[in-house]
Structure 1
């Protein structure tokens, strides 16, 4: 059984934000439906499990799943909310005597090593510029526009006739960036706000209204919005089109 588990569904700050008393953050502190760790997913299979991204909530995410170790992580880009857990992962590798395997484009690996030069002592850092295969998934990555934050990578994964993509940090994709997102059984797309009113030049991730337009063009079988800020309330009915839903922590989807 191949399954996708949402370990974290939040933006760079997570929810609740420590300084904030908005209704969403307040709800997160009470009933907890809106608690969101930084975005990351776990791909489970019969042969090997692996994660996409390793943010600062990595340890908490594994504890919540009852996991004590993960050997393989695929990284989308070198921003803190996606790599902040790498030192803890490397330390886990050290103490368990297992070498981790970090997969990422070479330019992302180079950036990571400038920040954490000692990681190669505990991790194998493996470029995916020519593609990769993990647990039988054929994986292709490509650069996507991340707005004011530069760029990130999206990944398309294919196995046994099932195709899905993970694109957590993007906005205003051009035709070349959109092309690999066609003909998908599942699209996981980052949407930080329902409707973000900030000046477009200052933004870095689609809002839910813009994302719905993109999904309408792509027509995947299913879509899940993730990477959500405290603007988004998962207890609210946003009237999303059929086939689109909001990710929640621990949510599990079959990949077949």
Structure 2
């Protein structure tokens, strides 16, 4: 059975914020439940794993899981909090003597290489716009609105009748963007705030109140919110739709119906 593991559940800045003394950040400094590394997950099949995104906390995430090598990665978009760990991964590939496999939409790959032009010496860059199959998962990807930050990509993974979607960075999605999310057994969705008061044009990720409206349309069997800022205190009893869970570092979710 495959298991989804949450390596990081934080937004672009992580939690705690270095400058902040709010209750959430102070609790996070005690290695509490609110301590959040940048958002990333892996799919553990029992003998190997496939990761999604590789932010600047990659090394610490690997250490926390007791992992010493990573061979395959999906990338959602080329923002620092999702690719900042690529140089460390490339260095690990060099020392371990293998080429990593990085899968991303074709337009994302040159953006990555402009920032880190040496990566291709140790990592194979493989476009996945037309879909790929890895570990028995049929994987498709499509562009989603990332608000003021441009665009990101979501992934839908299907295997043995189970389908789940990873969409960490999106907002104000239209019908064509949400269509591939319909009928999912699990939706992993980025929600940076419970309620974000800032003007919509200045924002880039759903808040939880907006996500609740989205879920009424998508009707996933289960939803996990991730990519959370220090506005979210995991200890609070938020009003959330049925079937919604807030992700925590190290949380594991069985990718099989009837399991949790």
Q: Report if TM-score (shorter chain) is over 0.5.
A: yes
C-alpha displacement at 1:46, in angstroms? Answer: 4.2
User: 2:193 & 2:217 partners in 1: Cα distance?
Assistant: 20
In the alignment, structure 1 residue 222 sits paired with structure 2 residue 198: no
In the alignment, structure 1 residue 185 sits paired with structure 2 residue 185: yes
User: 2:68 & 2:30 partners in 1: Cα distance?
Assistant: 28
Paired residues of 1:48 and 1:135 also in contact (CA < 8 A): no
- Counterparts of 1:10-89 in structure 2 under 5 Å? 10-30=10-30, 32-46=32-46, 48-89=48-89
C-alpha displacement at 1:102, in angstroms? Answer: 0.3
In the alignment, structure 1 residue 202 sits paired with structure 2 residue 205: no
Which runs of at least 4 in structure 1 moved beyond 3 Å after TM superposition?
none
**CA gap 1:33/1:196 in 2 versus in 1, 3 angstroms:** same
Q: Could you say what secondary structure the match of 1:144 adopts?
A: strand
C-alpha displacement at 1:133, in angstroms? Answer: 1.1
User: 2:109 & 2:18 partners in 1: Cα distance?
Assistant: 31
- Unaligned runs of at least 5 residues, structure 2: none
In the alignment, structure 1 residue 149 sits paired with structure 2 residue 153: no
- Unaligned runs of at least 5 residues, structure 1: none
Q: Could you say what secondary structure the match of 1:106 adopts?
A: coil
Q: Could you say what secondary structure the match of 1:225 adopts?
A: strand
C-alpha displacement at 1:107, in angstroms? Answer: 0.6
Structure 1 partner of 2:250: 250
Q: Could you say what secondary structure the match of 1:217 adopts?
A: helix
Structure 2 partner of 1:105: 105
Structure 1 partner of 2:161: 161
Structure 2 partner of 1:95: 95
User: 1:165 & 1:80 partners in 2: Cα distance?
Assistant: 22
Structure 2 partner of 1:176: 176
- Counterparts of 1:111-150 in structure 2 under 5 Å? 111-150=111-150
User: 2:241 & 2:156 partners in 1: Cα distance?
Assistant: 23
Alignment RMSD (CA, Å): 0.8
Structure 2 partner of 1:9: 9
- Matched residues, number: 256
Paired residues of 1:47 and 1:135 also in contact (CA < 8 A): no
Deviations 1:183-236 (A, max 9, x none): 000000000000000111000000000001101111100000000000000000
TM-score normalised by the chain length of structure 1: 0.99
TM-score normalised by the chain length of structure 2: 0.97
In the alignment, structure 1 residue 236 sits paired with structure 2 residue 218: no
User: 2:46 & 2:137 partners in 1: Cα distance?
Assistant: 12
User: 1:55 & 1:30 partners in 2: Cα distance?
Assistant: 22
